[in-house]
Structure 1
């Protein structure tokens, strides 16, 4: 493969076990150079373990890892962490409290002489905008200043890859968004290849060039944010990015029949097969009673930028949820007409509980990611 097309990192069939429990199974992944890759998933799915294997603070039980085309992990090779040219930002930043910011930045530059260390520290501090902090100590820094210092320390040795383990989770919501935006600007300015671990699907959508959705030690789906959200490969992926209305249905002549309508899908199933529909709340809208599917408003919650509305539709077991950015004049208890606008409807050939299938019932699922749009 030409050097300009070679991934920065290549993981091939990586596995890791802790006792009898398989934490990672058959993980293969190409991390693109100069891009931000997010390892996304719920707690315990193996994403932080995978990050430690890349960093070299843990060893896999099987598989290989190549960095820039050079094998660093394999059956007969293990490159020590300090020789991998991989930077790491920990969740709590792990700044040395007894060292000044300048000395924290210089810590990973021991291979340079004193003049070169000073020059590198001054350069990285200037580019990240923390020159005014160089003589201060970590305890006197704000959360955002600590994060920028940790970023500068990780980038000072000019690593080939930067690993970040939940780097914004310790910040308050408002500060988190600002620091995240500033960090992204810096990483893109440097052209850094970064691998970021997060459990937050909205964060992954906001920052990643490539999302790797993990589930129970395996990769569920890999793709761009648009791929993951618009073309989910499974109902798990669809539900992980946000709330979905989940409906049971019967496959008949190229479409799935549900209590609220028939939906076409690019599936190949025998007639009469059970299938599953996931409908985003934004795919639903309501109008005055007399049009669409007969329904009733159960609750309305105003969140500022939108209203969240729960709607009862016979014969569904659970209410449907919709989001509206327009003011809904109908009140709780009013009969309304339910419409589908065709957006974010996903059909999957997956098993459906019998109690749902018996009456084509449905339920609301709250989750976190997506895969394949069917309209």
Structure 2
């Protein structure tokens, strides 16, 4: 592994709960990781500890096999060769772009520094920006320059702290994809902090969800969405609800049935017996054998609009998203569901529509846990 964080704890004076509580994670060379979570979950504190700007009270941090923080040892931030990109860009307003990008290259021969600056500006798509000043660039262009400046000294690890938070939504999503492409082209290992799921999924090979200083899950974006390890991750990631159900074993073949107010779900433990893309019964917590009350995770894309279905739901709210609507629906028993449907299925508030469940990954938790 390239980056290894092992059981790191960070506490601040006069704060009873730890800001970072026994967090462990790993990144392979060239891998892009993202820390995702609500404000105050410990993401930035952990990032600053890796950079050497915060000192953990316990645990260890290693980079490419070298111990940076551990019992009796702390390598200063300036000796770690770790680059950082901040949310406010942190460009020098009185210096032109070439000087900003080359700021970390002092001590390098002038011709070599000029060549590196040119390469970095070309890499971020601003090859002619040398003589401009930061105020002459848009927010997205300034963020590209901040990235170029961080990459110019060829850091061993790049850390990004909410790098797109000051930009408008459309620009943030586009720039997130561009940043991922740039980091992949340069084979840069990076760790980013964000509270925005779309940014996390656009950038990250692996994403960690944090809450109250703890790392709830460190996994691929696909697994976070379809196989959340905890109720918090299930609720925090994507659009979905936890619906009451009844779990029953359906025979000697290891299959299960789940009774819900919106239909019966059947699963086999044999993946070949399940729909394409399914891996069978996946419980995030242990469910006792035999009949059991459970909460089943239903994503918005698990609830299909089907006028032929005997199960009906009433439209409570609708959010137009261009190609689709996000409907908030309510069953006769009061249970609410979310459903993504194509935008030509335009139903009015209060209308009753048919629905069916198309669940490829059954994720369940003990009822009311």
Using the size of structure 1 for normalisation, the TM-score is: 0.85
Asked whether the 8 Å contact 2:263–2:356 carries over to 1, the reply is no
Matched, 1:170 2:166: yes
CA displacement at 1:292 relative to structure 2: 2.2
Comparing 132-141 and 259-268, the one that deviates more: 259-268
Q: Find the residue that maps to 2:153 and give its secondary structure.
A: coil
Is 2:354 the counterpart of 1:346? no
**Structure 1 equivalent of residue 260 of structure 2:** 258
**Cα deviation digits, residues 243-280 of structure 1 (max 9, x gap):** 21221234433444332334454554144543211111
In the alignment, is the contact (CA less than 8 A) between 1:8 and 1:161 conserved in 2?
no
Quote the offset at 1:128 in angstroms: 2.9
**1:361 equivalent in structure 2:** none
Partner of 2:7: 13
Residue 293 of structure 1 pairs with residue 311 of structure 2: yes
Residues 83, 343 of structure 1: CA spacing in aligned structure 2 closer, same or farther, 3 A cutoff?
same
> Which of these residues, 278, 295, 302, is aligned with residue 297 of structure 2?
278
Residue ranges of structure 2 left out of the alignment (5+ in a row): 250-255, 268-280
The reply to whether residue 328 of structure 1 matches residue 345 of structure 2 is yes
Q: In structure 2, what is the Cα distance between the partners aligned to 1:262 and 1:296?
A: 20
Q: 1:87 to 1:270 in 2, by over 3 A?
A: same
Cα distance, 1:294–1:110 mapped onto 2, change above 3 Å: closer
Q: Secondary structure at the match of 1:153?
A: helix
Q: CA-atom RMSD, angstroms?
A: 2.2
Distance 1:137 1:313, change over 3 A: same
For 2:18, what is the secondary structure of its paired residue? strand
Structure 1 stretches lacking a partner, 5+ long: 1-6, 353-375
Aligned equivalents of 2:354 and 2:237: distance in 1? 27
Distance 1:296 1:252 in 2: 28
Kindly indicate whether residue 79 of structure 2 is the aligned counterpart of residue 83 of structure 1. Answer: yes
How far the C-alpha of 1:300 sits from its partner, in A, is 4.2
Is 1:54 aligned with 2:72?
no
- My pick for the range that moved more, 242-251 or 41-50, is 242-251
Secondary structure of the residue aligned to 1:327 is coil
What is the TM-score with the length of structure 2 in the denominator? 0.86
SS of equivalent to 1:132? coil
Aligned twin of 1:364: none
8 A contact 2:180–2:202 mirrored in 1: no
Q: Residues 136 and 230 (structure 1 numbering): CA distance in 2 closer, same or farther, change over 3 Å?
A: same
1:80: how far off? 1.0
Deviation at 1:93, TM superposition (A): 0.9
The answer to whether the aligner puts 1:229 opposite 2:225 as a matched pair is yes
Are 1:190 and 2:186 an aligned pair? yes
Q: Give the Cα–Cα distance (whole angstroms) in 1 for the partners of residues 197 and 298 of structure 2.
A: 18
Match in the other structure for 2:104: 108
Residue correspondences, number: 344
Q: Secondary structure at the match of 1:285?
A: strand
CA distance, structure 1, for counterparts of residue 142 and residue 203 of structure 2: 20
